[in-house]
Structures are given as structure tokens and as C-alpha cells.
Amino acid sequence: MDQREGRTTAARLSLKRKLEAADFEDQNQGGRKLLVIEDGNKDVQLNSAPRSASSTSAQTLPSSSKPRSNCWNYDVFLSFRGEDTRKNFTDHLYSALVQAGIHTFRDDDELRRGENISTELLNAIRGSRISIAVFSKGYASSSWCLDELAEILRSTKTKGQTLLPVFYDVNPSDVRKQTGTFAQAFARHEERFRADMERVQRWRAALTEAADLSGWDLESVANGYESRFIEEIVEEVLLKVNRVRLQVAMHPIGIDSRVEEMKALFNLKTSDVCILGIYGMGGSGKTTLAKALYNQICDEFEGSSCLLNIKEVSGQLNGLVHLQEQLLYDILKIKNVKIHNVEEGIKLIEKRIQSKRVLVILDDVDHLKQLQALVGNCKWFRPGSKVIATTRDEQLLTQLGVHGKYKVTELNHFGVSSTFLLACLQDGPSKRRLSRAFNSCSGVHWRTSFSS
């Protein structure tokens, strides 16, 4: 017996022992389903209790995108300089958010003691889906505010949190470049924290990064009218909090790692307008990956749209026009948009969405005219916008001149087997036992079949 055959036999025996110990007998004496796991010339068989009627009729599919909605303790965390805005703007904003049903954390401790941010605030930041940083003239004077901001930006990278900067009676350029009152504040910080200049540099980097994000400037958004300014902020937060996540897959094997690969390849943080492509053979998972990516990053944009099955829909009567109408509704939330022809739709889209930083997913594209009708060219969009198209035709992406391409390869045999068997075994204990068995024997070439 050579080494390869010995390893395969050992793995097969290991799996058989684990499955025999798993006790998949039907406790209710109901019908059984036979799973046959084949490896070479030998089979391992086991009986599994059938799914209950309730499990087969469930319509809600869990998303693979992370972080998941149930990990958030708050919808919004407010970061602000108390001496500047606690009793006026921030109080009004907080009240408006709460009245809109948005679960908001606001630190009510006016006298903060010590040099370091409290554990309570750290947990509140990390547990909030969205953070709003209210930059005022005295914001940078507070080491607490700056530590909060640094932690918020860390959470945007590690937990998928969204930061919305608000510039209240301060020029965004002063925040970005640390000039004006921000320069004065940092002169004091550099004197006070001369033994910890790394911390000071971290604050500077955080302010620069935050000011580069799309946000609200009181003077430019609402001409200085605070009530209208607050209405706009609350409206945007509601859109993000209530944004529906796309259904991805019941058993998302390997999706998260592939999404991370795409995010790294596409450099989604760049301020450039980018048109990106996902390609691969039919059934390889392009749509699933695009939807998972959408779920992870859509909150980072002012508007978003995911148009599915474009090949099929555009082949129908007025199909492209309907897709144009859907795109405008998704991004602008304008109801009853009526477009009479594709050319009219092109002009309307170009005119209406150029002021927004948007994310658009175009699924199953097979002709250049579809892309031209829906996204035109990069000049249509505000800097930072991203368009991601899925297709079977790599050449189409080349013709479009995309800025990046990701090829979707098929799951390996082990991934297919795992997906199939986990779909068959819906009861928790059985699924957990089988998952452990597969994990112990990963790398062995498995084939699966199923019979009732």
C-alpha cells in the first residue's frame, strides 16, 4: 500500500467512525433519507431524519455578508464635542434620530475623567452600525473625541461600520488638513503628548480620512438652516438603517473569503469612479458573490442599486427602460418614474445621479448596449462611485474598459459535497456532527449522492 492510498484509507475510516458515532437515527420514527458518501470503492451510509415542514417552507435566506445585523447594539453612535454642541445642535439631532425610531447612543457624561476612552464608550462604538462625527471648532481640542474617531475608523475596517461626518460651523478643509482651530488644538496636543507622538499622528490620520468621506456641511447642504440640515441627516440614516439586505445563499460555503479577495483586488476605498467586473461560467456563483459584496459595502454609499438578471429582463418588451426606472428608484427613491424610451432614460440617469456617490450592481450582462443604457461612462457619477458587472463574457469587460476583473472559479469537490450534505441535514445536531466530520477529513476527493 503506497502512502497516498494509506492516507485515503485512514481518512475514510476516520469519517466512517465519526458518522457511526453521530447517531443520525430519526427520533420521531418518521421517514428517513439515505445519504451515500462515496470514496473510491467503498461507501459510508447513514440515515437522516427528514426536514420538518416548517424548515422546507422557510423563505428567508441568511446573508453571508458580515457584519450581520444582529451584532449591532445601536443604530447610531454620536461623537461630538460637548462644549460646542451638546445643548444645541447635537441635542436637536439626537432628538430627531430618536423620534424617527433610530436607536442612538449619546454620551451624557459632561465631565470626562482620565486620559483614555472608557470601556463603555468603546463597546458602544464597536456595537453601533453607523457613527456620526459632528466636527465643530473645538472637536480637535478633546483627546476623547479624537480617540473616539480613531476607534470609529478602526471599526469601519474591521466590522463594516459606516462613518458619516457632519461639519458644523467648521470648514471641511480645516478638518482634513488640521488648519485653523484644528491647528491650534494640535499644537497643544504635541506639547502635552510629546512622549506619545504616535498617538497624535494617529489622530491626524483619522481626521484626514474622515474628512475625505462623503458627509454633510451645514453651509453647503442647507445654507446654514439647522432644521433642514438635521432632516437631511436623519433621512440618510433611515435609508441606511432600513436598507434591505439581499438574500445570498442558504449554505454560503467559501463566500466570505472570496468577497474579501474581491474587496482587496478592486480597491473599493479609492475616490475614483470605478467600473469593475466579475466573470465566470454559468452557475459558478457570480451573482451570489456580487450580492454578498453588495451587502457588505452598500452602506458606504449615498445610494445603491442591484439590478438582477439583466440578460433576461432586457430581452423583454421595454426591458431596458424598466431597468432604468428601477435604477432611478433605488438610488433616488422617486416613485412612479416614467421613462418612454432608452435614450430618454440615459439622459435622465446622467442628469439625476451625478450628485450622488453610488454603488450599482449589474448582474448577468451579455451586451454592451445594456451597460451603455444603465451606467454610460464614469463621467455620470460622483467620485468614489462603483459599478460592478457580472457576466460570462470576459471579452465584454475588456470592451467596456473595466478597471478591475475577478474570475470566479468553481467550488472544489469538497466544497460541493459540504454544501450538498449541509443542505440535506437541516437539524442542528446532525449538521454540526457532519461538519466536524468533513473538517477532519478535508482534502479527500468525495462524491455524494442522495436518495429518499
Would you name the residues annotated as active-site residues? 148
What span, in angstroms and rounded, lies between the C-alpha atoms of 262 and 276? 10
384 φψ region: left (φ > 0), alpha (ψ -120 to 50), beta (else): left
**What are the residues whose beta carbons fall under 8 Å from the beta carbon of 12, sequence distance 6 or more?**
39, 40, 42, 44, 441, 444
DSSP reduced 3-state for 360:
strand
Check: CB of residue 207 under 8 Å from CB of residue 182. yes
Burial of 127 (0-12, 13-18, 19+ CB in 10 A): middle
Distance of CA 396 to the CA centre of its chain: 26
| Spatial CA neighbour of 164 closest among 326, 31, 304, 357 | 357
Check: CB of residue 148 under 8 Å from CB of residue 202. no
DSSP reduced 3-state for 158:
helix
Strand partners, 216: 166
Residues making up the chain, counted from first to last: 452
- The CB-side HSE value for 163 (13 A sphere, CA atoms) comes to 27
Check: CB of residue 30 under 8 Å from CB of residue 50. yes
Strand partners, 130: 76, 162
Residue identified by cell 476623547 is 144
Strand partners, 39: 42
Phi, psi dihedral angles at 354 (to 5 degrees): -70, -15
Burial of 92 (0-12, 13-18, 19+ CB in 10 A): middle
What span, in angstroms and rounded, lies between the C-alpha atoms of 363 and 341? 21
| Cell numbers found for residue 56 | 422546507
DSSP reduced 3-state for 120:
helix
